Amino acid sequence: MTAFAPIGWWATVFVSLYVLIRLWESDSPGQMFIEGWWFGLGLFGAGVSWVYVSMAVYGGMSSWLAAMATLLFCAFLALFPAATGWLAARMSKPGPGRLLVFIPACWVLMEWIRGWILSGFPWLAIGYAQVPDGWLAGYAPIFGVYGLSALSLFAAGALAWLFQRAWIPGAWVLPFALLVGVLASGEALRHIEWTKPEGLPVTVALLQGNIPQEMKWRPERAAQTLADYAGRIESSQAKLIVLPETALPVFYSQLPAAYLDGMTQLARERGADILAGVPTGDINGAYFNSVVSLGASPMQFYHKQHLVAFGEYVPKGFDWIVNVLHIPLSDFERGSKHQPPILAAGQRIAVNICYEDVFGHEIIRALPQATLLVNVTNDAWFGDSLASWQHAQMSQMRALETGRYMLRATNTGVTAIVDQNGYVKAVLPEFEAGTLEGKVQGYSGMTPYARWGNYPVLIGVAMLLLIGAVRQRP
């Protein structure tokens, strides 16, 4: 876990993968399955145990049931590294082919499956550890996070092969060259500018309301929340003002007309635009998790299209879980997969809401039209845990993959301005109300990843596994 945010010791990922790969050098498929499962249980048990907070503290689930559900969830996620070991053993014999080819290919396959099954949970994909400072980060605009995962496993495999042959005269040269080559190439790629600035920089203000999750949806708190955000908007001179996910905690149709008119008129007078998270629709019918634009530009809406299972929609057959949890607005409708960027503050803005920014192949749908990425989120569900920083690291990956700024406006953190190279340029402290102001640049152009998505990596993986399957035929 030290390799991921907030610690960010990215090099330790190679150490942990090296240990796992050494265990996998010559074991049977069954033994590699068990070793992979224990590795996965440690990774996810430490890395995503924050789901307990959302269920027990804010979801109203009893402590023992939430603890059991968290353990089962982590045990389920551990099956993916376990399946990696089993499949790699079935596809290959001990040796450099397993270390350098089949373990990386099987790992990426399992990460990809984990990224779509039950709507997807791609949290803690190994490639995220490289952002923004890792030696492999330069590959992100070409291959995306799954490519970085494959290359991380390749580097760890080369390291394992190197130590195997370290004491054999001359035998260490090839694995050493492979290891240095993949790391040095990644560092060299960091200096390529895949996109170019478009237009003039724009001033932005990202609002962090710090509304306690247990108070967010209480009717008696709504008026105060609306007033707090209105005050922060009034005090900002930025041309683009962004409020978090569901910052306005009532349906758009129920907002006081004077409130909406006042914000819109104020923004128009200043030549500014506001992006505000607000539920739209009708509680008794279809409703959406949305962002509305108000101000100098025409009013526009974005409706969230990738919903969170059990939090925003209920998978078939799992209604009993929602009956145990107490989550407001837990049955949203999906927005269209193909929504145009919002035109505001002279930018074409690809808006994504909360969990949507963990799916790189979905973010690139708005390209090349979009010049700026904006994520609005509410990670208050997970309390003071690793979740918000892990989520921010995924936003950094999306910025690096697309070569565009990512603006993050959150309820309790991490509210940040991330540049086109994945670096955090400015950030607000967590769990404090505040406004983060800065100047950002729009970008145009297409990185290789923005053009081709995950297809090159997945096609490569499929070809390698096909070769492995053919080799196993009697």
Positions marked catalytic: 245, 304, 354
Residue of 432, 352, 431 whose CA lies nearest to 395: 352
Quick check: helix, strand or coil at residue 363? helix
Q: Which residue has the tokens 């992979």?
A: 36
For residues 178 and 124, is the Cβ–Cβ distance under 8 A? Answer: no
Which are the contacts of 137, defined by CB distance < 8 A and separation ≥ 6?
130, 131, 148, 186, 190, 400, 422
Tokens at 261, concatenated:
């008119």
Distances (CA, A) of 41 to 32, 149, 355: 14, 18, 23
Q: Please, what is the Cα angle at 208 between 244 and 238, to 5 degrees?
A: 85
User: What string of DSSP letters covers 161-188?
Assistant: HHHHSTTSTTTTHHHHHHHHHHHHHHHH
Quick check: helix, strand or coil at residue 41? helix
For residues 284 and 292, is the Cβ–Cβ distance under 8 A? Answer: no
For residues 82 and 33, is the Cβ–Cβ distance under 8 A? Answer: yes
Which are the contacts of 278, defined by CB distance < 8 A and separation ≥ 6?
246, 247, 248, 250, 251, 252, 255, 290, 291, 292
Cα–Cα distance for residue pair 368/364, rounded to 1 Å: 8
Partner residues linked to 241 by β-bridges: 205, 274
Cα–Cα distance for residue pair 467/132, rounded to 1 Å: 34
Quick check: helix, strand or coil at residue 208? strand
Cα–Cα distance for residue pair 248/211, rounded to 1 Å: 11
Tokens at 224, concatenated:
């105060």
Cα–Cα distance for residue pair 159/140, rounded to 1 Å: 21
Length of the chain: 474
Cα–Cα distance for residue pair 172/180, rounded to 1 Å: 12
